[in-house]
């Protein structure tokens, strides 16, 4: 017959997968109930982090152990340990593993836009590559979880590997990259609700071995939805770059993303105007396909700097080293990105 004492004895020896301390040491076992007539055990456990793959693995271990001890059925609930308990049992080495640890010296730069289709992801990947070309240690999170595109834009064909309890990001052009695109098959749609998105984003920060970074760029989804709100909550000291086109409506909508950044005490580094003009190779004449003045107007409204204007042009593709959205360093547009990257370093 299974008893509360037997359950307590089994659970006390198990370890929190993140703190590597026993449940007895962390006082993780918050509730044990045994219905003897049905041999049903109900348990409530507190962990350092919930909603992770480690929790799922631990759940299976607990259920199997209790059933081997005589339980016919097991009800299991998880909650999070108090922050002071987590900090008490976290070593300096473990604390440094998370980018969200207070005192981490990585500069977070979120690339945002008010609407889709303005080239925000193109700007994100090329800024990340340009910063790496300037000798900086750079990471890039494709936080546009519904509309992930970074792996394809950078020509990444590999997938991350797991080493120990950490995910090793894929490196390309000197940039460490993590994306939802690595975890879905055959370009499948992601049908998730807000809370699940927040957990995935948290995993990108906590469960990836980023090493020491100077800058971590986040390619945010357009607008001011759940993911953008989660970023603003997780990263109180994040910098932001707002991307717009010259069209007045695009600039008007982009102002919302800028306003959100200001309301959450994020610093706007500047505005980038994409698709500013098309320049004919034959005549050199510039055509302002989407109008003019959007970037300047947005920068003025947000009281920030216009970092640069990017022309409407396609990178030169190299079939031997395919990366359809990355401009070479000596390409005309690549040089503009390098200038913008230098301005960002100077500003920050």
* pTM of the model as a whole: 0.68
CA 80 – CA 86 distance, rounded (Å): 9
Q: Would you say how long the chain is, in residues?
A: 348
Segment 139-161 shows an average pLDDT of: 86
Q: What is the pLDDT of residue 96?
A: 46
CA 32 – CA 343 distance, rounded (Å): 58
Name all domains of the chain by residue range, CATH numbers in brackets: 4-90 (3.30.300.130), 107-347 (3.40.50.300)
The model's pLDDT over 68-98, given as tens digits with 9 standing for 90+, comes to 988 899 999 998 888 788 878 766 555 445 6
Higher pLDDT, 229 or 119: 119
Backbone angles phi, psi at 51, to 5 degrees: 75, 30
Q: What is the pLDDT of residue 228?
A: 64
Is the pLDDT at 162 greater than 80, yes or no?
yes
Element (H, E) at 68: helix 53-68
Backbone angles phi, psi at 306, to 5 degrees: -85, 105
Q: What is the pLDDT of residue 52?
A: 67
- In 3D, which of 129, 140, 58 has the Cα closest to residue 99? 140
Q: What is the pLDDT of residue 109?
A: 93
CA 19 – CA 16 distance, rounded (Å): 5
The model's pLDDT over 272-309, given as tens digits with 9 standing for 90+, comes to 999 999 988 888 888 998 889 889 989 988 889 999 99
Backbone angles phi, psi at 162, to 5 degrees: -105, 130
Q: What is the pLDDT of residue 317?
A: 75
Segment 315-337 shows an average pLDDT of: 85
Higher pLDDT, 313 or 340: 340
The model's pLDDT over 25-68, given as tens digits with 9 standing for 90+, comes to 999 999 999 987 778 999 999 998 776 667 878 888 899 999 99
Element (H, E) at 287: strand 286-287
For helices 53-68 and 4-12, angle between their N-to-C axes, nearest 10 degrees: 140
Percent of the chain with pLDDT over 70: 86
CA 29 – CA 46 distance, rounded (Å): 7
Higher pLDDT, 251 or 176: 176
Q: What is the pLDDT of residue 8?
A: 92
Is the pLDDT at 197 greater than 70, yes or no?
no
In angstroms, how far is the first alpha carbon of the chain from the final one? 64
Among the listed ranges 118-122, 128-132, 164-168, 328-332, which one has the minimum average pLDDT value?
164-168
- The token pair that represents 235 in the structure block: 């990263």
Q: What is the pLDDT of residue 84?
A: 83
CA 230 – CA 205 distance, rounded (Å): 12
Segment 110-114 shows an average pLDDT of: 86
CA 83 – CA 339 distance, rounded (Å): 42
Judge whether 137 and 106 are in contact, CB under 8 Å.
no
DSSP string, 225-268: SHHHHHHHHH-TT-EEEEEE-SSHHHHHHHHHHHHHHHHTT-EE
Is the pLDDT at 193 greater than 80, yes or no?
no
CA 336 – CA 132 distance, rounded (Å): 15
């Amino acid at each position: 017959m299974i008893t509360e004492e037997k359950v307590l004895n089994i659970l006390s020896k198990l370890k929190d997968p993140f703190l590597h301390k026993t449940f007895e040491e962390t006082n993780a076992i918050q509730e044990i109930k045994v219905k003897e007539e049905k041999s049903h055990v109900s348990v409530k456990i507190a962990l350092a982090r919930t909603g992770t793959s480690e929790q799922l693995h631990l759940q299976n271990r607990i259920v199997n152990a209790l059933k081997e001890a005589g339980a016919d059925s097991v009800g299991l609930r998880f909650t999070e340990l108090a922050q002071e308990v987590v900090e008490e049992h976290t070593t300096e080495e473990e604390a440094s593993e998370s980018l969200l640890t207070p005192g981490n010296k990585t500069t977070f730069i979120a690339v945002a836009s008010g609407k889709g289709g303005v080239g925000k992801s193109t700007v994100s990947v090329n800024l990340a590559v340009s910063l790496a070309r300037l000798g900086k240690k750079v990471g890039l999170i494709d936080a546009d979880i519904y509309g992930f595109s970074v792996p394809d834009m950078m020509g990444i064909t590999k997938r991350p590997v797991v080493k120990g309890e950490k995910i090793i990001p894929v490196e390309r052009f000197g940039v460490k990259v993590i994306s939802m695109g690595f975890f879905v098959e055959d370009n499948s749609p992601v049908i998730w609700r807000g809370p699940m998105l927040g957990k995935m984003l948290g995993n990108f920060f906590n469960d990836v071995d980023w090493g020491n970074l100077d800058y971590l760029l986040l390619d945010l989804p357009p607008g001011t939805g759940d993911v953008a709100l989660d970023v603003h909550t997780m990263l109180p000291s994040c910098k932001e770059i707002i991307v717009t086109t010259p069209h007045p409506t695009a600039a008007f909508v982009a102002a919302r993303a800028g306003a959100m950044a200001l309301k959450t005490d994020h610093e706007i580094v500047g505005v980038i105007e994409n698709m500013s003009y098309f320049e004919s190779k034959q005549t050199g004449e510039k055509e302002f396909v989407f109008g003019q003045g959007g970037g300047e107007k947005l920068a003025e409204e947000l009281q920030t700097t216009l970092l640069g204007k990017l022309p409407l042009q396609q990178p030169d593709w190299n079939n031997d080293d395919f990366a359809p959205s990355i401009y070479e360093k000596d390409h005309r547009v690549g040089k503009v990105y390098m200038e913008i990257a230098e301005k960002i370093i100077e500003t920050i």
